């Protein structure tokens, strides 16, 4: 009978591990739909970006108060869950606070730090819930941004409430443990850790419980905390909070080119160089691929990782001049639409097999011409993103497809292209008249 809790714990761990691994592999396969792109150069610069932007959250500190709260949640949740290792070992081995003896007097210090961080997580999550639902921060409101209708708002609230409950379970577990220690009950009395800095305030409440009820409360909180962590780990793979994990590789593999530099299409560059005599034409002409992007398979793997790394914070949309003037474009929606397209492909694979193809495409069925044509290519969205996502790169590739594959550029653009070709300037003036506007009357 003593082995039943260990067997149940092992079964829960195995089930959670299976579903999380399956989901991770599916996301990896979806990202690999994108075209190959080398992002392995300048490893030291990339590592520095990852440490500053993902771990240090450098860009978040443009607004210090929000950044401090976010850092409290982020670091608090990550550091507190170091305790999960102890819980896992206790669950597998049938022990209680297995790290107490090896760490000695350091153990209570660490638990006190964890409790302070847990309190910081609870406070920060409460503040974020107030900002989302009471004071209503503009960039998070569905009444202002159509992409925030329905699930995105619920998702944010679910995660915040979930984190509060998990931290409460952790504190309740410690409080019940403390009372059981003071009563000298079983193995609890063998692991004297003393009252902890935060959970001690719950001790008077727990002290009114019977010993049997206390044991039940401690075990219930223990099980809820670890099962909640497992459920949370699986849930984030379906949520915008996948950025908890993907922020690190996404910032590492971010574009190191100066903002504003647009990448040329290799096939076009090669043709121009051949025309200018800078390269020799190959004996066997290379097959010309698609110009630009119509669907996610035409984007790079990094574009698709960007979509899964999006935090939906809306900083990009708030900084977008097109969005500010009432245009349909929202850089956040571009990333969310790209992820939605990937998720729909996944559903098709699960239901119909890996060869599944539908009649939809990213451009047209998810993202409209009106949105991509409103972009000014100013890079404000790229500059604002805390995890170095580039909605602009996707927009440019979609526009290239419309213009170069389908010849559907607006008439004003066609006039500009013609002027560039004939006059070497966007305006309909010959080169010798270019500075006439500066002459005095």
What's the confidence (pLDDT) of residue 2? 66
Q: Is residue 341 part of a domain?
A: yes
- Residue 229, Cβ density class (10 Å: 0-12 exposed, 13-18 middle, ≥19 buried): buried
Q: Is residue 401 part of a domain?
A: yes
Instruction: Name the β-bridge partners of 35.
Output: 300
Q: Is residue 48 part of a domain?
A: no
Q: Is a pLDDT exceeding 90 seen at residue 81?
A: no
Highest mean pLDDT among 192-196, 322-326, 416-420: 322-326
When pLDDT is cut at 50, 70 and 90, the band that residue 285 belongs to is low
Identify whether residues 152 and 26 lie together within a single domain: yes
What's the confidence (pLDDT) of residue 407? 82
Largest CA distance in the chain: 101
Return the CATH number at 402.
Answer: 1.10.1060
Identify whether residues 227 and 298 lie together within a single domain: no
What's the confidence (pLDDT) of residue 399? 93
Q: Which domain holds residue 299?
A: 266-271+291-421
Q: Averaged over 378-398, what is the pLDDT?
A: 93
Identify whether residues 356 and 229 lie together within a single domain: no
Given a contact cutoff of 8 angstroms between Cβ atoms, the answer to whether 20 and 233 are in contact is yes
Identify whether residues 317 and 247 lie together within a single domain: no
Q: Is a pLDDT exceeding 90 seen at residue 26?
A: yes
Q: What is the C-alpha separation between 302 and 378, in angstroms, rounded?
A: 20
Return mean pLDDT, the chain: 87
Identify whether residues 319 and 214 lie together within a single domain: no
Q: Is a pLDDT exceeding 90 seen at residue 216?
A: yes
Q: How many CB atoms lie within 10 A of CB 187?
A: 11
What single string gives the DSSP state of each residue in 411-440? HHHHHHHHHHHHHSSSSSS-GGGTTGGGS-
Tokens encoding 427: 């305006």
Identify whether residues 323 and 225 lie together within a single domain: no
Q: Is residue 237 part of a domain?
A: yes
Q: How many CB atoms lie within 10 A of CB 391?
A: 28
Higher per-residue pLDDT: 55 or 1 = 55
| Segment 165-187, tens digit of pLDDT | 988 998 999 899 889 888 888 77
Q: Which residue, 194, 222, 252, sits at the end of a domain? A: 252
Counting residues of the chain whose pLDDT is more than 70, the rounded percentage is 97
Identify whether residues 170 and 304 lie together within a single domain: no
When pLDDT is cut at 50, 70 and 90, the band that residue 142 belongs to is confident
Identify whether residues 235 and 139 lie together within a single domain: yes
What's the confidence (pLDDT) of residue 307? 95
Q: Is a pLDDT exceeding 70 seen at residue 4?
A: yes
Identify whether residues 72 and 200 lie together within a single domain: yes
Q: Is a pLDDT exceeding 70 seen at residue 440?
A: no
What's the confidence (pLDDT) of residue 288? 63
Q: What is the C-alpha separation between 62 and 83, in angstroms, rounded?
A: 32
Q: Of 353, 348, 350, nearest to 295 (Cα)?
A: 348
Q: How many domains does the chain have?
A: 2
Tokens encoding 252: 């590492």
Q: Averaged over 261-277, what is the pLDDT?
A: 79
Q: Is a pLDDT exceeding 60 seen at residue 414?
A: yes
What's the confidence (pLDDT) of residue 28? 94
- Across 78-82, 140-144, 364-368, least confident range: 78-82
Q: Of 55, 59, 4, nearest to 389 (Cα)?
A: 59
| Segment 246-255, tens digit of pLDDT | 999 999 999 9
What's the confidence (pLDDT) of residue 254? 93
């Amino acid at each position: 009978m003593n082995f039943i809790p260990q067997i149940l714990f092992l079964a829960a761990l195995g089930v959670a591990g299976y579903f999380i691994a399956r989901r991770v592999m599916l996301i990896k396969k979806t990202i690999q739909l994108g075209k190959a792109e080398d992002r392995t150069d300048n490893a030291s610069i990339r590592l520095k970006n990852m440490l500053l932007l993902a771990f240090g959250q450098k860009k978040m500190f443009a607004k210090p108060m929000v950044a401090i709260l976010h850092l409290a949640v982020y670091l608090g949740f990550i550091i507190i869950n170091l305790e999960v290792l102890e819980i896992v070992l206790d669950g597998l081995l049938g022990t209680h606070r297995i790290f107490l003896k090896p760490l000695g007097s350091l153990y209570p210090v660490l638990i006190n730090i964890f409790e302070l961080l847990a309190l910081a997580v609870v406070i920060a999550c409460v503040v974020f819930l107030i900002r989302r639902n009471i004071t209503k921060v503009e960039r998070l409101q569905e009444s202002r941004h159509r992409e925030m209708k329905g699930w995105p708002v619920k998702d944010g609230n679910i995660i915040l409430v979930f984190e509060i409950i998990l931290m409460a379970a952790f504190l309740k577990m410690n409080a019940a443990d403390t009372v059981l220690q003071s009563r000298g009950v079983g193995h609890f009395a063998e692991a004297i850790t003393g009252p902890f800095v935060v959970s001690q305030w719950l001790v008077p409440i727990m002290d009114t419980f019977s010993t049997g009820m206390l044991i039940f409360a401690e075990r219930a909180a223990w099980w809820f905390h670890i099962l909640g962590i497992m459920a949370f780990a699986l849930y984030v793979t379906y949520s915008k909070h996948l950025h908890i994990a993907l922020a690190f590789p996404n910032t590492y593999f971010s574009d190191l080119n100066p903002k504003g530099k647009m990448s040329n299409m290799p096939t076009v560059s090669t043709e121009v160089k051949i025309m200018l005599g800078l390269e020799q034409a190959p004996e066997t002409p290379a097959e010309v691929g698609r110009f630009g992007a119509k669907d996610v398979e035409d984007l790079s793997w990094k574009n698709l990782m960007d979509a899964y790394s999006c935090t939906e914070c809306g900083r990009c949309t708030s900084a977008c001049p097109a969005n500010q003037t009432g245009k349909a474009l929202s850089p956040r929606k571009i990333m969310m639409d790209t992820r939605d397209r990937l998720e729909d492909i996944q559903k098709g694979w699960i239901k119909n097999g890996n060869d599944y193809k539908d009649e939809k495409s990213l451009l047209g069925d998810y993202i409209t011409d009106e949105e991509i044509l409103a972009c000014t290519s100013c890079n404000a969205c790229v500059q604002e993103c805390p995890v170095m996502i580039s909605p602009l790169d996707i927009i440019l590739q979609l526009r290239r497809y419309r213009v170069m594959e389908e010849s559907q550029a607006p008439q004003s653009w066609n006039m500009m292209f013609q002027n560039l070709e004939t006059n070497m300037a966007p305006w309909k003036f010959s080169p010798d008249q270019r500075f006439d506007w500066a002459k005095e009357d």
